[in-house]
Amino acid sequence: MRKLFYSMLCFTICLFMLPFVNPIVNATEEEEILAFPGAEGFGQYSKGGRGGEVYHVNSYELTGPGTFHDALTTAGDIPRTIVFDISGEIKIPQIIVRNKSNITIAGQTAPGDGVTIKGNNVRFIDSNDIVIRFMRFRLGKNDFQDDALYFEDSQNVIIDHSSFSWGTDENLSILSKDYDNPESKNITVQWSIISEGLLTHSMGGLIEMNTITMHHNLYAHNNDRNPKTKGQIDFVNNVIYNWGQYPYVAGGESGTKGYGNVVGNYFIAGVNSRNPEYAVVRGNENYSLFLENNRIDSNKNGILDGTDTGTKMMEVERPSVIVDKRFEYPLTNIEEPEKAYQHVLDYVGSSLVRDSVDQRVIHDVRNQTGAIIGHEEDVGGFPELEKGTAPKDTDRDGMPDEWELANGFDPNNPEDRNADKNGNGYTNLEEYLNELATSSFPKNYPMEPPVWTSDPFVPPEEDTEPEPDVEPEPLPVMDGEITKNLIINDNSSGGGQNARNWSIEENLQEGDLVAGDRDGYRFTDIPEELLGVEWIRSAVNSRSATSEDLVTFYLAADADVYVAHDARVSSKPEWLSSEYENTGQTIVDDQPVTFELYKKHYPAGSYVVMGPNNNSSRMNYFALIQPTSQEEPPNEVPKDLEGDIAVDEVSLNWSSVNDEELYLIYRSSSKDPSFRAIASTEESNYKDDTVELGVTYQYKISAINAGGESELSELTEIFFFDPNEPTPDTPAELTVTKTKSITVELKWKEVEDAISYGVFRTTEPDGEFKKVADTISPSYMDKPVDSSTTYYYKVSATSIGGESDMSNAVSTTTEEAIDLPEVPQGLSAGEITNSTFEINWDSIEEADNYDIYRKANEESEFSKIASTDSSNYKDESVSINHTGYSYKILAVNEMGESEFSEELNIDMIPPNTPSDLIVSLIGTDVVGLTWTSQGGANRYNVYRERNGEVEYIGYAKVDTYFDRTAEPGVHYTYYIKAENASGESEESNVVEVTPGYITVLKNYMQQYDQTGDITGPIVPQLTNTLKQVEHHVEKGSTTKAIKFLSKYKEQLTKEKNKEQISPLASTVLNHYAKSYMEELK
């Protein structure tokens, strides 16, 4: 009997320890029931875990049963509600929730002061029907950058009464991975706090793509993205305080469409707000904005006195497109901005029990205090949270026994959680969860959204009628001495431009630019035996390509091919690691980045294929080609090249040069006039099966051996067509559009199904017309031709069926010869700013236009940057990262180009002097500085004076800096100098400060005295006690200082003083007094 009793006891205990119970779904679900009373906006109908199982979080471990990690990652097909039996800080590893659905995270069930998720982030990807309530996600400073909470390609999500802070990338981000086909939709964020993103990447978050409601939220102390929006967004009754650089970002520098309602919000500038007059910034022509009844308080006077400035609160330089009608999105209960401001501050965040972080942020907003921070310790760090005890829940159904009994349920029957006692569509468990949240909404605030009967706004479809296929212009052929027909097949989003930034270079040397799309990286260390070799300069941005044939080329000699791959990429691509040998050698650039050298030997004629970089954030690889044979190249050129048409190929034959030689086959065509290597062969014949009907091809052959390549043979031309197909119509309406001294421009009517056109010419009225060119477009410029000469032209069309008859002839007589333009003179500088260099020169009568060439002082070669037909040019692409630029220009007409002008050097001007330097934060061993930049700087240098000695202590990229090397009790003087490549500005104004516990306590007391958080007799009492502490510390009497600190703490907590000090003031002052005592001890 006793054995049976123990067996039953063990079974019962094990049952209670299980984290969840199985569901029995028996509630009657009705269509479109709100996620909970008070849910509004696009995400209001999220189902969450309704009718499913219950998971109890009861472990503080990182992973395993009962952990928050396990609660999310083990969710399956059954809806799940997550409740908390524990409270306080829950440290997590990164949690990726992928392809999950129907989850409710019920933070309101946590006992004590609730829960705070810290240490890493949670990412929801491809998930739907997620409800999150009364949670805190505070990432904190780490050695990685990430969001506190992240949603990607997710639907039917509502986040309510939650707090997000201390993100190192964003605080809260919601986005679609593919903006052209957005998957995220029907999402609401309401009554939540998004605050204190940590510098240097202090961001509120991305709220992008696609249907998202944000109402009654607080953004505070974020430098940027408050939020950054794209797609369809309803932004209503939010409070935005102390943005740094950018408040509401309307699209940014993006071509993605945006349709935003910005209604009834309150924007309040703070100490860090760079442009306090603007609430909506970085708009563009793709972002349509409805702006109504907002307030902006930009004067930083500490008094809430915002006004509705209408469209004047939108950035002038980068406006959005203002529309006069609200976009029809699901309605929310819109309040006047002043009323919404009060309600937001009273009820926002995880507000059932506000921790001291949210209390402090709310206090900052009310009193217009506080600043953007760089570390959570700048404001006291993670607060201590009371860990309460969860109420007894015998059947583990998420409803406490006491509540079940009070509502007529059975505390031993877990199945009753999914019943619907009152028939309102919510399960009994939901009724309990909703009851917990009742006090979190303002009194008399409607618990249902307004009735909405309008047709929802649907973004207008862009013109999807397919454009006619246009043959892309072939890229210039890339040939080296050994490397032939280098082709870049970059399939990344910018692949076409990336391909243009690759090149074949000769004579590799230290100091050469590493990449074709970066002008700042140069080689500093190259193995001696590889100096002077031919090499392939890559584009860094091609690192995102996934093409298995990203790079292809032929070799005209035996060679060792080296691949230089970024050493920071630990996982090498398969094509490299399996085929190439790691030499142990490296090349280094000046970033510095080390490239590991891999090598493979290839014989002449080889077709080399290289794949992707296998990393999209590090440097892309590049290649070196080192010849390995001393043999002389062939001196005999292949002869007797002939071509014939077969059914689906062109057959080539030629006389062999030497039985030991190989051959490279080169081809050009009416679609691509450049000769490119397309194949190699050991035979004196070749069949080209890559030809297209209707195209004229020209072929040449070279002989190759281990040592190199011969000259190219004479060409043979083949027109490849199908005689069984009809020929194209004869081109009509041939006209001469322009005639000059050495150019004639022609155009004609496009012929249906034509692949290319032949252009024929003669100088005699009855002379024989000879082909001078092929072109794929119905126009052509014939250049050069003789001046003062009459020419006659005809054109034909070619298609898969052959060639048409020639058109009617047209004639024109070229003008008299002109001279080359003179060399431009008088090159001089005009207006010079940090962003624009103006140059002027004397006009030349014979010039049609002028080409402008530029070289930064740090660069070795000039490159063309523009052409203009005026004698003035404004270069708006100058960079403050260069010390200056040299310019030279040449004049151009149809005869050609003049010689270059003399060079004009213009130095970059120093940046403007920063102003308004203030101390924005004083800690025990940290000083926060904030200033106003005046433009032209790429960094701000911070100087500190101590005991008469000035030292440089660091720099900032934004208008805020935190000195974390400050020592308590030491008096410092600070000033700032702006810097760019030309040097530093003058000094800013100076500020003086003494960090330490005494200063921190004095400052908080002064602030709380001004805000009314401490009043009455306690103010002089605390002040006098703190003076005693300071006095004894200065005398070195630590024991007496601790005694008075203890008295200070007692004064803070005395029952009779509670009415004279707010809970926040008591908590903050007690925290620093306690920490000071511990340090003194």
Residues that are catalytic: 225
Is the CB of residue 47 less than 8 Å from the CB of residue 127?
no
Is the CB of residue 891 less than 8 Å from the CB of residue 846?
yes
Q: How far is CA 12 from the centre of its chain?
A: 53
Q: Which residues contact 9 (CB under 8 A, 6 or more apart)?
A: none
Q: Which residues contact 538 (CB under 8 A, 6 or more apart)?
A: 502, 515, 516, 620, 621, 622, 623
What is the CA angle 121-83-440, rounded to 5? Answer: 85
Give the tokens for residue 279.
Answer: 């609430």
Q: Spell out a b/e string for 751-763, using b for 16 or more CB atoms within 10 Å of the CB, else e.
A: beebbbbbbbbbe
Rounded CA-CA distance 267/296 in Å is 5
Q: Are strands 790-799 and 802-803 parallel, antiparallel or unpaired?
A: antiparallel
Beta pairing partners, 235: 214, 262
Rounded CA-CA distance 531/505 in Å is 12
Three-class DSSP labels, 323-387: CCCCCCCCCCCCCCHHHHHHHHHHHCCCCCCCCHHHHHHHHHHHHCCCCCCCCHHHHCCCCCCCC
- Among residues 242, 833, 849, the alpha carbon closest in space to that of 841 is found at 849
Percent composition of the chain: helix, strand, coil (DSSP 3-state, to 5): 15, 35, 50
Is the CB of residue 207 less than 8 Å from the CB of residue 229?
yes
- Among residues 21, 28, 141, the alpha carbon closest in space to that of 81 is found at 21
Is the CB of residue 379 less than 8 Å from the CB of residue 1072?
no
3-state secondary structure of 128: strand
Rounded CA-CA distance 467/1026 in Å is 77
Rounded CA-CA distance 974/944 in Å is 5
Q: Are strands 810-813 and 779-782 parallel, antiparallel or unpaired?
A: unpaired
Beta pairing partners, 704: 662, 709
Rounded CA-CA distance 125/122 in Å is 10
The amino acid occupying position 71 is A
Q: What is the dihedral of CA 156, 162, 168, 170, to 10 degrees?
A: 40
Rounded CA-CA distance 399/377 in Å is 38
Q: How far is CA 421 from the centre of its chain?
A: 50
Is the CB of residue 808 less than 8 Å from the CB of residue 769?
no
The amino acid occupying position 1014 is I
Give the tokens for residue 516.
Answer: 């074709």
Give the tokens for residue 541.
Answer: 């941005």
Q: Which residues contact 808 (CB under 8 A, 6 or more apart)?
A: 734, 794
N- to C-terminal Cα distance for the chain? 60
* DSSP secondary structure letters along 20-70: EE-----S---TT--SSTT--STTTT--TTTTSEEEEE---SSSSTTSHHH
Q: Spell out a b/e string for 1052-1063, using b for 16 or more CB atoms within 10 Å of the CB, else e.
A: beeeebeebbbe
What's the farthest any 2 CA atoms get from each other in the chain? 125
Is the CB of residue 625 less than 8 Å from the CB of residue 561?
yes
